[in-house]
């Protein structure tokens, strides 16, 4: 499904109903706002949008949100993990806020997913998770051969190893040695957070195969607050593509893929 064209394309027959529940995080601005508040989901047939406060870095906030989904909403079908931060300017590479970046972009997304997983109305082809990620976190950005080899070995890779990788980076930031260990060279803290999110997503896709589809989406260089208004496309354009991927027909829905814009990529080839 190519959602990059500015022309309207004939919609697929809706697989969802008025009971379908989609959760979009980070919907107060940027791509998340374009996806939720600019009626992308409603225009495709979902009846309403409700906003709810959520801090993905706060375990109490995540627990309260999960309780609300369980008790008031009754479960969910779609999760779009869009909440994310970066504190670098376009041409800088500071790691001053590395802990906050990883806590939001990786640990926070993971904590929310694990809290909501029991609440998915698991149905093959309809239940899905879409994690907003970045090609800055792809394997071709990793300059440490041993780290790249570990991440490529999906048969042995574990979630514990992914978390240990993130913790190791933060420890190296604290002791000032992070530049000596082959981490991605551009927006390093942000790239490592997405490297960890990509790896976790692939493992999660394998764990949930047949029950919940899990994919990642890179919107590319998009004009948002994070990029200080720089970029090749608007948040609205990225929101339309994200909506298209989040609502792929069951027959077209893959799992364990990384979408660069609207095209699925192989991790090992990037």
C-alpha separations of 269 from 5, 172, 192, 261 in Å: 25, 28, 19, 16
Q: How confident is the model at residue 270 (pLDDT cuts 50, 70, 90)?
A: very low
Tell me, yes or no, whether 207 lies in a domain: yes
Cα diameter, the chain = 55
C-alpha separations of 127 from 118, 193, 208, 211, 258 in Å: 12, 25, 10, 7, 17
Q: Which domain holds residue 202?
A: 22-269
Tell me, yes or no, whether 15 lies in a domain: no
C-alpha separations of 258 from 71, 129, 225, 230 in Å: 33, 12, 24, 23
Tens-digit pLDDT profile for residues 128-182:
999 999 989 999 999 999 999 999 998 999 999 999 999 999 999 999 999 999 9
Tell me, yes or no, whether 12 lies in a domain: no
pLDDT above 60 for 37: no
Tell me, yes or no, whether 50 lies in a domain: yes
Tens-digit pLDDT profile for residues 76-107:
999 999 888 989 888 899 999 999 999 999 99
**What token pair was written down for 102?**
């990883």
Tell me, yes or no, whether 200 lies in a domain: yes
Q: What is the pTM of this model?
A: 0.88
User: How many domains would you assign to the chain?
Assistant: 1
pLDDT above 50 for 6: no
Distance (Å, whole) CA 105 – CA 94: 16
pLDDT at position 222, please?
A: 57
Tell me, yes or no, whether 142 lies in a domain: yes
CATH code of the domain in which 259 resides: 3.40.50.720
Tell me, yes or no, whether 8 lies in a domain: no
Tell me, yes or no, whether 245 lies in a domain: yes
Active site residue 107: no
Q: What is the 3-state composition of the chain as percent helix, strand, coil, each rounded to the nearest 5?
A: 45, 10, 45
Collect contacts of 145-152 with beta carbons under 8 A, ≥24 apart. Answer: 145/182, 147/182, 151/195, 151/199, 152/267, 152/268
End-to-end CA distance of the chain: 21
pLDDT at position 137, please?
A: 92
Q: List beta partners, residue 22.
A: 78
The catalytic residue among 107, 190, 200, 267 is: 190
Average pLDDT over the chain reads 84
Distance (Å, whole) CA 80 – CA 131: 6
Q: How confident is the model at residue 41 (pLDDT cuts 50, 70, 90)?
A: low
pLDDT at position 35, please?
A: 66
Distance (Å, whole) CA 236 – CA 243: 10
């Amino acid at each position: 499904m190519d959602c990059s064209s500015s022309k309207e394309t004939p919609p697929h027959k809706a697989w969802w109903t008025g009971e379908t529940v989609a959760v979009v995080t980070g919907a107060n601005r940027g791509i998340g706002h374009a996806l939720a508040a600019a009626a992308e989901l409603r225009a495709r047939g979902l009846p309403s949008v409700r906003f709810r406060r959520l801090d993905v870095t706060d375990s109490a906030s995540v627990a309260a949100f999960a309780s609300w989904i369980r008790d008031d909403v009754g479960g969910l079908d779609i999760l779009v993990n869009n909440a994310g931060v970066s504190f670098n300017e376009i041409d800088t590479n500071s790691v001053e806020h590395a802990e906050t970046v990883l806590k939001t972009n990786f640990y926070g997304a993971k904590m929310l997913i694990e809290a909501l997983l029991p609440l998915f109305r698991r149905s093959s082809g309809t239940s899905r998770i879409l994690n907003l990620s970045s090609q800055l976190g792809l394997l071709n950005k990793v300059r440490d051969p041993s780290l790249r080899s570990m991440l490529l070995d999906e048969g042995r890779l574990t979630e514990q190893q992914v978390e240990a990788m993130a913790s190791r980076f933060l420890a190296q930031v604290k002791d000032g040695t992070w530049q000596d260990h082959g981490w991605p060279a551009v927006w390093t803290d942000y790239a490592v957070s997405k490297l960890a999110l990509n790896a976790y997503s692939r493992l999660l896709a394998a764990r949930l195969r047949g029950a919940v589809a899990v994919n990642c989406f890179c919107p590319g260089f998009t004009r948002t607050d994070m990029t200080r208004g720089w970029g090749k496309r608007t948040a609205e354009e990225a929101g339309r593509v994200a909506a298209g991927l989040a609502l792929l027909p069951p027959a077209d829905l893959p799992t364990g893929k990384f979408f660069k814009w609207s095209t699925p990529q192989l991790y090992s080839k990037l």
